């Protein structure tokens, strides 16, 4: 582990320098890594591991578009692509990458395949942390660990192809072999992580549920909508409101913030923008902090997990979700966004 300074706080993290890919390959040389599920994380992680030289197979139910996608990505039925039960049998490391709701449904099948010495791998602490609601309780004689890439499986793959890496957290829940931590880190390097930071299953799930409901999606959509509505109510055109709310942020500012930080952005804008942004960030923090506290408490109490499990387990959940997603898609702001994106000049 490398001891690094994060804003004055020391943290131990794993980088590819102390744990190179060759070492990861050595640690998992005798393993068959079975990636169960080919949704969003499944493709990213399995393709990265395959390209990194690991022995990987995919388990996916037949008949859906995920099975076809797996074939299109080069997985061969009967050789590297199997029905879930068969892949579970062949795998020594079971990467449980079905949707969180499907993980509950398939658990009895997975549990049967977890013979002593196998490893159970997750990319989220959900199933284990909320075991009272999910029923996911692994046998005592298997290793249980997680690697949670901090981003979409699509980005994990895209960044890997570009020679970059998405940062991931890792955690060991159960160490039956005495080697779980090393195997877990080897998986983290194998899936193409940038650097790896240690957590536990509970902290992974509470931070993750807070993040996606907060600044990563829920809060940001809420702030976009609020500003857009205020501008529109005051007579600004959709084009002006969208550009001032979203397009400038995503196209111009965020890439610079990603490269240099918001502190740099503040120091490198006009003094008019600087004055205003310095005056207004604290009122926005103070207005939203109580909402973040409410959100965190709702996550901590298990209420958010309960909502997610009950709502997403209903037979008609996809149709119901679709109605709410359509409301977002059909909102004036995102319809304006679609037009604005269509007008971006192509460099030819």
- Confirm or deny that 338 is annotated as ligand binding: no
Closer residue to ligand NAP, CB minimum distance, 129 or 245: 129
Residue from 46, 119, 123, 206 binding ligand NAP (CB under 6 A): 123
250 sits near ligand NAP (criterion: CB under 6 A): no
Which of 22, 26, 64, 275 lies at the binding interface for ligand NAP (CB under 6 A)?
64
Distances (CA, A) of 32 to 49, 89, 165, 218: 11, 10, 23, 38
When asked if residue 192 is in the footprint of ligand NAP (CB under 6 A), the reply is no
Alpha helices in the chain (DSSP H): 21-27, 41-51, 65-72, 84-90, 100-113, 126-129, 131-134, 153-161, 180-190, 201-213, 218-233, 238-242, 248, 254-260, 262-267, 271-300, 303-313, 317-329, 332-342
Q: Per the annotation, does 270 bind a ligand?
A: yes
Does residue 261 belong to the site contacting ligand NAP (CB under 6 A)? no
The response to whether 198 counts as a known ligand-binding position is no
Does 85 belong to an annotated binding site?
A: no
- Size, binding site for ligand NAP by CB under 6 A: 24
- The b-or-e profile of 3-24 (16+ CB within 10 A means b, else e) is eeeeeeeeeebbbbeebeeeeb
The two three-digit tokens of residue 48, written as one number = 């990265």
Query: For this structure, is 236 an active site residue?
Result: no
Alpha carbons within 13 angstroms on the beta-carbon side of residue 166 total: 23
Q: Interface with ligand NAP includes 210 (CB under 6 A)?
A: no
Q: At what angle do helices 303-313 and 317-329 cross, to 10 degrees?
A: 110
Q: Looking at 57-65, 192-200, 251-259, 307-315, which segment touches ligand NAP (CB under 6 A)?
A: 57-65
Residue 208 labeled ligand binder? yes
Instruction: Give me the least distance between CB of 172 and ligand NAP, in Å please.
Output: 17
105 contributes a contact to ligand NAP by CB under 6 A = yes
| Residue of 118, 124, 157, 232 that binds ligand NAP (CB under 6 A) | 124
42 binding ligand NAP? (CB under 6 A): yes
Distance between CA atoms of residues 188 and 208, nearest Å: 17
Among 4-12, 64-72, 107-115, 243-251, which window interacts with ligand NAP (CB under 6 A)? 64-72
Among 32, 52, 66, 92, binds ligand NAP (CB under 6 A): 66
State phi, psi for 82 to the nearest 5 degrees. -135, 165
In this structure, what token pair is assigned to residue 132?
């009272």
Identify the active-site residue in 50, 118, 124, 183: 124
The residues near 156 (Cβ < 8 Å, ≥ 6 apart) are: 41, 44, 45, 48, 149, 166, 191, 192
Tell me if 147 sits within 8 A of 188, measured CB to CB. yes
Within 150-169, the residues that bind ligand NAP by CB under 6 A are: 152-153
Residues in the chain: 348
Q: Which residue is nearest to ligand NAP (CB)?
A: 39
**In this chain, which of 94, 102, 120, 299 binds ligand NAP, going by CB under 6 A?**
102
Instruction: Indicate which residues carry an active-site annotation.
Output: 124
- Binding site residue list: 208, 212, 244, 248, 270
């Amino acid at each position: 582990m490398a001891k690094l300074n994060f804003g004055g706080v020391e943290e131990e993290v794993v980088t590819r320098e102390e744990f190179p890919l060759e070492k990861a390959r050595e640690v998992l040389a005798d393993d068959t890594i079975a990636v169960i599920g080919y949704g969003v994380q499944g493709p990213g992680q399995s393709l990265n591991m395959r390209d990194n030289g690991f022995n990987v197979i995919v388990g996916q139910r037949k008949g859906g578009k995920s099975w076809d996608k797996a074939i299109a990505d080069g997985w061969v039925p009967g050789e590297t692509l199997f029905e879930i039960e068969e892949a579970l049998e062949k795998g020594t490391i079971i990467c449980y990458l079905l949707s969180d709701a499907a993980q509950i449904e398939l658990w009895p099948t997975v549990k049967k395949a977890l013979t002593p010495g196998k490893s159970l791998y997750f990319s989220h602490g959900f199933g284990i942390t909320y075991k009272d609601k999910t029923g996911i309780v692994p046998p005592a004689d298997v290793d249980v660990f997680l690697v949670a890439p901090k981003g979409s499986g699509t980005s994990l793959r895209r960044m890997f192809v570009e020679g970059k890496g998405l940062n991931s957290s890792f955690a060991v829940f159960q160490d039956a072999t005495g080697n779980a931590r090393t195997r877990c880190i080897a998986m983290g390097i194998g899936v193409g992580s940038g650097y790896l930071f240690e957590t536990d299953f509970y902290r992974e799930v509470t931070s993750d549920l807070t993040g996606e409901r907060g600044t990563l999606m829920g809060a940001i959509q809420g702030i976009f909508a609020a500003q857009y509505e205020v501008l529109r109510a005051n007579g600004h055109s959709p084009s002006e409101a969208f550009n001032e709310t979203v397009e400038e942020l995503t196209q111009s500012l965020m890439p610079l913030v990603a490269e240099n930080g918001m502190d740099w952005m503040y120091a490198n804008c006009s003094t008019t923008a600087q004055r205003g942004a310095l005056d207004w960030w604290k009122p926005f923090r103070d207005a939203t902090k109580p909402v973040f506290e409410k959100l965190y408490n709702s996550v901590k109490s298990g209420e958010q997990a309960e909502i997610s499990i009950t709502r997403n387990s209903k037979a008609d959940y996809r149709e119901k979700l679709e109605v709410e997603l359509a409301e977002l898609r059909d909102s004036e702001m995102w319809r304006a966004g679609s037009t604005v994106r269509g007008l971006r000049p192509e460099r030819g």
